[in-house]
């Protein structure tokens, strides 16, 4: 497995990581067989994946417990990333944002317990909290780094001004944000700032929440608990309008003797050597397909052809409803 370095602190991860959220929420009914999910995570390690992403809010809490139990036997072989930043009531329901230093410390202690580990390799602020100066957040995480509870500091969905302010207090190893052929907004400003500051990029939803696989069309029905049923970009009308994206990607993939998903991931990997996408899945065959992207070679001519093919395409539909979009710091 190819390795990549995130940030100036030398955090080494597999070129493709594993986004674990979908094993506990957001994409329809959760798997009934927890053991099967644990087995899939351990198989990913056997196949060379060393980078696993979770968060306290996934579930909440249960995803960290799943990841912690699954990876405990191979803890020293893997990099575990998790996130803080949401507040919960006594029933575990999300009540808003909270990145106060005292909440960060409590969240980290909870994550360490659920993950069955003594350190978090990469700790992200999940969403920027406008009530707490980012300098205070970076300082609190820096204290946790000094204590050995955290190895590296990350941000998620943060804008360039926030990134610069945080990085000035404590080095930011990675920014996690959505980035794919289905959502290229980070190219406007984010990627340039990350390159300038030496910060890695960890794209979530690198397959456009499944749309870039070519297995979703206008007739697809999303079941109960599937977040895509409420996303403007996934209305039937938007899917029909955006089918051109999949059609173009499919033609390119056919030329490369690869699947659309593999081609989309290979495109991301080719953008910068410090980009490490984290596709998620619940199925072994999809894990193996995703890892096949590492064998897809895109030449400069291929990348130029992809750029030309997508230059005239405008994706229809916002990626989030308005309330969710307000939590993205741009």
Residue 171 Cα to chain centre, angstroms: 20
* Torsional sign, CA 189, 191, 197, 201: positive
Query: Strand, coil or helix: what is 176?
Result: strand
- Find the helix or strand (DSSP H, E) in which 46 lies: helix 34-46
Any catalytic annotation for residue 58? Answer: yes
* Residue of 188, 211, 187, 158 lying closest to 275 (CA atoms): 187
Measured distance CA(159)–CA(76) in Å, rounded: 33
Q: How many CB atoms lie within 10 A of CB 320?
A: 16
Quick one: 304 exposed, middle or buried, by C-beta within 10 A (0-12, 13-18, 19+)? exposed
Query: Strand, coil or helix: what is 220?
Result: coil
Look up residue 35 and give its two tokens: 């053991």
Q: Is the peptide bond before 60 cis (omega within 30 degrees of 0)?
A: yes
- Between β-strands 150-156 and 94-97, what pairing exists: parallel, antiparallel or unpaired? unpaired
Measured distance CA(85)–CA(286) in Å, rounded: 30
Hey, which residues are catalytic here? 58
């Amino acid at each position: 497995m190819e390795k990549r370095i995130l940030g100036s602190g030398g955090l080494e991860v597999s070129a493709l990581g594993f986004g674990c959220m979908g094993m506990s929420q957001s994409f329809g009914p959760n798997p009934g067989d927890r053991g099967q999910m644990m087995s899939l995570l351990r198989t990913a390690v056997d196949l060379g994946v060393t980078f696993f992403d979770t968060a306290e809010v996934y579930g909440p809490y249960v995803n960290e417990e799943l990841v912690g139990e699954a990876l405990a036997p191979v803890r020293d072989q893997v990099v575990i990333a998790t996130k803080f930043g949401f507040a919960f009531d006594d029933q575990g329901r999300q009540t808003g944002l909270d990145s106060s230093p005292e909440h960060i410390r409590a969240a980290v202690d909870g994550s360490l317990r659920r993950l069955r580990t003594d350190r978090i390799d990469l700790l992200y602020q999940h969403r920027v909290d406008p009530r707490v100066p980012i300098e205070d957040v970076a300082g609190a995480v820096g204290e946790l780094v000094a204590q050995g509870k955290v190895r590296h500091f990350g941000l998620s969905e943060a804008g360039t001004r926030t990134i610069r302010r945080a990085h000035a207090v404590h080095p930011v190893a990675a920014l996690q944000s959505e980035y794919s052929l289905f959502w290229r907004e980070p190219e406007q400003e984010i990627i340039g700032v990350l390159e300038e500051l030496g910060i890695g990029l960890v794209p979530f939803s690198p397959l456009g929440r499944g749309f870039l696989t070519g297995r979703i069309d206008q007739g697809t029905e999303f079941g109960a608990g599937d977040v895509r049923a409420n996303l403007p970009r996934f209305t039937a009308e938007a899917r029909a309008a955006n089918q051109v994206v999949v059609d173009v990607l499919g033609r390119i993939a056919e030329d490369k003797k690869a699947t659309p998903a593999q081609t989309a991931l290979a495109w991301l990997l080719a953008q910068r050597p410090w980009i490490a996408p984290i596709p998620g899945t619940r199925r072994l065959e999809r894990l193996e397909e995703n890892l096949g992207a590492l064998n897809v070679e895109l030449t400069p001519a291929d990348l130029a052809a992809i750029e030309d093919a997508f230059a005239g395409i405008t994706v229809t539909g916002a990626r989030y409803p308005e309330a969710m979009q307000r939590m993205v710091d741009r």
